[in-house]
Amino acid sequence: MRYVPISACQSGMRLAKKVYNEEGMVLLSENVELNDSFIKRLRDMGVSYVYVEDMHTEGINAPNILSEETRREANRMIRREFKRLMTGSVLRKHSGPSDMSGAFSRLLDSIIDDISSHEDAMVMLGDIQTADLYVFKHSLNVCVYTTMFGIYHGYAKEELKMLSMGALLHDIGKTQLDLQILNKPGRLSDYEFSHIKSHTELGFRILKNEPNIPLIVAHCAYQHHERLNGSGYPRGILSDHIHEYAKWIAIADSFDAMTSHRVYRSAMQPHEALEILYTGSGTLYDQSMLALFRDRIAVYPLGMTVELSTGEVGVISKINSKIPQRPIVRLLLDPEGKPYSDMKDIDLSLKLNVVITGYRTDIMA
């Protein structure tokens, strides 16, 4: 399978992995042949990449980190709870006991079990091809990223569940924002930016008033935009006053925001986003946490077409779990742009003089 931006898709290509709708149900199944109408619909619905079948990438398979059942339940529950809050006031008192804690607790058990079953799995969310509002997709993505890193950090199960719940609900305050401002494609005014920033305080107020939601989960919503050097918001607190769960979420939140398509800009490539995160190492983000993030993130997704410093073009065929920045590449084109007659892979962890110089979206050799 090949990982292809929606902008490079053409009629006649066949999907290699399912695409899901906003309810977590299958929108287009594998083996469906794309046509202009399907491609336009996917683009309009915010799907940035899809996996397509390709004779040159046979045997390259990206695992699903979440099962279809877990994905569907996560989408259903996030939408239900977020939309429930969108229709009411954050200040209102609940008329009866809420099941938010219990429902999300069961979901998080499934997410943790799914992720834990992938030994040495690299975090690569290309399998979560979902047509949905950004805030819903983002919440699930950040939860998956953060849960994976919590597992590798070694948190006990109950600690991990609190971290995962904090990640899943970190942006719940956005349910109280003006959607016109939240989805504005242009530059925000000072007032509009202040309004957006209020989601941290609103999220804290929502969650601390939810029965059976641990207070630390509310603080994850409150603190995920705080930064080590005090330059964050809403309180501008320093590192020692920021909970470690919020520090994890800050990294995952920033990374997913940069690598997601937004109404005001195109998505960055994972390696570009990681480089930007590293400019804040030790000042904005915790250095040791960022190092673990770097070591577990697939900055070059399986199936993506890349160009090498040799002038050759290939496809990422395998991620080196110990050195994810140096994947194995299946070579397709020689430096002159001619197809190789024999399939061969090059392990960049062993060929240190060869580097990936860029992505290719125009090559379907």
Of the chain, the end-to-end C-alpha distance in Å amounts to: 13
Q: Where are the domains of the chain?
A: 2-57, 68-296, 305-359
Of the candidate ranges 92-96, 293-297, 343-347, the one whose mean pLDDT is the lowest: 92-96
Looking at 2.60.40.350, 1.10.3660.10, 3.90.105.10, 3.40.50.2300, the CATH number of the domain 2-57 comes to 3.90.105.10
Residue 187 DSSP class: P
Overall pTM > 0.85: yes
The pLDDT value recorded for residue 95 is: 41
Instruction: Taking residues 325-336, report their average pLDDT.
Output: 93
pLDDT of 96 strictly over 70: no
If one looks up domain 68-296 in CATH, what number appears? 1.10.3210.10
Rounded alpha-carbon distances, angstroms, from residue 13 to 32, 37, 80, 116, 271 = 8, 13, 34, 33, 27
The pLDDT value recorded for residue 225 is: 98
Cα(153)–Cα(254) distance, integer angstroms: 19
What average pLDDT does the chain have? Answer: 87
The amino acid present at 201, given as its one-letter code, is E
The pLDDT value recorded for residue 109 is: 93
Give the model confidence (pLDDT) of 72-88 as tens digits.
888 888 888 888 887 65
305-308 and 313-318 strand pairing: antiparallel
Confidence of residue 92 (pLDDT cuts 50, 70, 90): very low
Q: Give percent helix, percent strand, percent coil of the chain, each to the nearest 5.
A: 45, 15, 40
Domain 2-57 and domain 68-296, same fold? Reply is: no
3-state secondary structure of 249: helix
Confidence of residue 197 (pLDDT cuts 50, 70, 90): very high
